[in-house]
């Protein structure tokens, strides 16, 4: 009778650091000591891929701080192998969930400590015959130093984002009755369609303090409602998107970023202040940014390998940058050019002029055809 009335249960939400922390803890403290259930998978290591064992579907028992726990994992599968989700329930004999919460906090703290600043998790909206959900994809974080745009604009954007997520800003929004949301439109020189219910579900499933990215919003085939034609094959309407962004059921505590190659094609209602608070032009690379990317991708490597002296890095970077015309070449094009010449600064300097001339000639030929 005691086990019936004094058993506490907690269902662990999927795709969270708590869930991942429990999986890692079980792998290290239960699976490694022998079990009938395990899933063999791989993880990236310095010299390739290493084999690791993770908990598979089944029931696991373990002790934590002198208390006996049970963890039950049931795998549900959508239409594709990649859409598997593990439903996880933690149980123990107790009159409250406090012991389970202590265990979950322990797992989360360990996970956050082990993964702090080493990875970020990007969630993409996925749909199948079994339903819709966010699918996590872990990636290594990218340093802002590797984003080659105007330095003043970049610093201003970083400052603005930091200020938005500050607790004082959150309190200010609340005290003044302002929805705690902010939106950016990133646009510059050169998706999969969703329907209204899908995007509304996606926005309503957001957690607090998140960043939402809608890429190439001008290419999403959104039906425009001001008489201009949209993509007739799209199931997503402008009103559906607007309702998801800031309708009555839209969540607060999120930063929205939209990207577009053709901002003039966007409906004015979509980019009005309140929905899009700042429009940031990410144009062609400047000479100062060209010098930075040359230094990072080519010159510093050459200096480390003794091909050039450290004091030669800056002068060589300036020689390279001077051959990049302002407002002509994109950062991606320069990066691709330099990647083929890593550790070869003199070759890059010799070949950049003809490369730029050839690039401009090809563009002119395309525009004339």
Dump pLDDT digits (tens) for 60-85: 999 999 999 999 988 765 444 444 55
In angstroms, the CA 299 to CA 172 distance is 46
pLDDT value of residue 46? 38
pLDDT value of residue 141? 63
pLDDT value of residue 121? 58
CB-based contacts of 110, cutoff 8 Å, min separation 6: 21, 24, 25
Alpha-helical regions (H) of 150-234: 151-164, 167-175, 196-204
pLDDT value of residue 202? 57
**C-beta atoms surrounding 233 within 10 Å:** 7
pLDDT value of residue 9? 93
pLDDT confidence of 287, banded at 50, 70, 90? very high
3-class SS string, 48-112: EEEEEEECCCEEEEEEECCEEEEEEEEEEECCCHHHEEEEEEEEEECCCCHHHHHHHHHHHHHHH
Report, as an integer, the average pLDDT of 81-95.
75
Res 359 pLDDT > 60: yes
**Per residue in 16-36, pLDDT tens?**
778 889 988 998 888 766 655
* CATH homologous superfamily of 167-281: P-loop containing nucleotide triphosphate hydrolases (3.40.50.300)
pLDDT value of residue 51? 46
DSSP-derived 3-state class of residue 143: coil
Res 195 pLDDT > 50: no
Write b or e for each residue in 195-231: b if 16 or more Cβ atoms lie within 10 A of its Cβ, otherwise e: ebebbbbbbeebeeeeebebeebbebbbbbeeeeebe
Res 199 pLDDT > 70: no
pLDDT confidence of 321, banded at 50, 70, 90? very high
Cα dist from 57 to 54, 212, 363, whole Å:
10, 32, 56
pLDDT confidence of 92, banded at 50, 70, 90? very high
**Per residue in 104-152, pLDDT tens?**
999 999 888 877 655 565 555 555 544 555 555 555 666 777 777 777 8
Average pLDDT, the chain: 77
In angstroms, the CA 276 to CA 218 distance is 14
Report, as an integer, the average pLDDT of 237-264.
77
CB-based contacts of 43, cutoff 8 Å, min separation 6: 49, 50, 52
pTM for the predicted model, two decimal places: 0.55
pLDDT value of residue 137? 55
**Per residue in 301-314, pLDDT tens?**
999 999 999 999 99
pLDDT confidence of 341, banded at 50, 70, 90? very high
Q: For the chain, what are the domain ranges?
A: 2-118, 167-281, 287-368
């Amino acid at each position: 009778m005691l086990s019936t009335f004094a058993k506490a249960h907690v269902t662990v939400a999927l795709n969270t650091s708590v869930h991942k922390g429990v999986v890692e803890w079980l792998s290290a403290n239960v699976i490694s000591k022998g079990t009938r259930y395990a899933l063999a998978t791989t993880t990236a290591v310095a010299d390739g891929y290493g084999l690791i064992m993770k908990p598979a579907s089944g029931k696991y028992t373990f002790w934590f701080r002198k208390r006996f726990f049970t963890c039950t994992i049931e795998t549900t599968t959508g239409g594709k192998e990649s859409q598997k989700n593990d439903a996880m329930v933690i149980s123990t004999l107790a009159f409250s969930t406090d012991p389970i919460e202590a265990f979950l906090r322990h797992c989360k703290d360990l996970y956050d400590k082990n993964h702090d600043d080493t990875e970020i998790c990007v969630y993409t909206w996925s749909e199948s015959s079994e339903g819709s959900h966010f699918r996590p994809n872990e990636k290594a974080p990218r340093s802002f130093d590797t984003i080659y745009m105007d330095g003043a604009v970049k610093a201003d954007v970083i400052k603005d984002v930091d200020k938005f997520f500050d607790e004082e800003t959150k309190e200010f929004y609340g005290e003044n009755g302002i929805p705690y949301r902010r939106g950016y439109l990133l646009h510059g020189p050169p998706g999969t369609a969703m329907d209204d219910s899908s995007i509304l579900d996606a926005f309503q499933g957001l957690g607090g303090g998140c960043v939402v990215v809608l890429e190439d919003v001008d290419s999403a085939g959104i039906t425009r409602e001001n008489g201009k034609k949209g993509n007739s094959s799209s199931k997503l309407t402008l009103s559906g998107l607007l309702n998801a962004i800031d309708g009555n059921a839209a969540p607060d505590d999120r930063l929205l970023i939209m990207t577009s190659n053709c901002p003039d094609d966007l409906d004015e209602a979509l980019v009005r202040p309140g929905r899009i608070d700042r429009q940031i032009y990410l144009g062609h690379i400047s000479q100062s940014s060209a010098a930075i990317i040359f230094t990072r991708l080519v010159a510093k490597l050459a200096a480390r390998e003794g091909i050039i002296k450290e004091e030669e890095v800056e002068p060589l970077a300036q020689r390279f940058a001077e051959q990049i015309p302002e407002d002509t070449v994109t950062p991606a094009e320069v990066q691709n050019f330099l990647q083929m010449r890593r550790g070869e600064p003199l070759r890059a300097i010799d070949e950049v002029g003809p490369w730029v001339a050839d690039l401009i000639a090809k563009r002119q030929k395309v525009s004339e055809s």
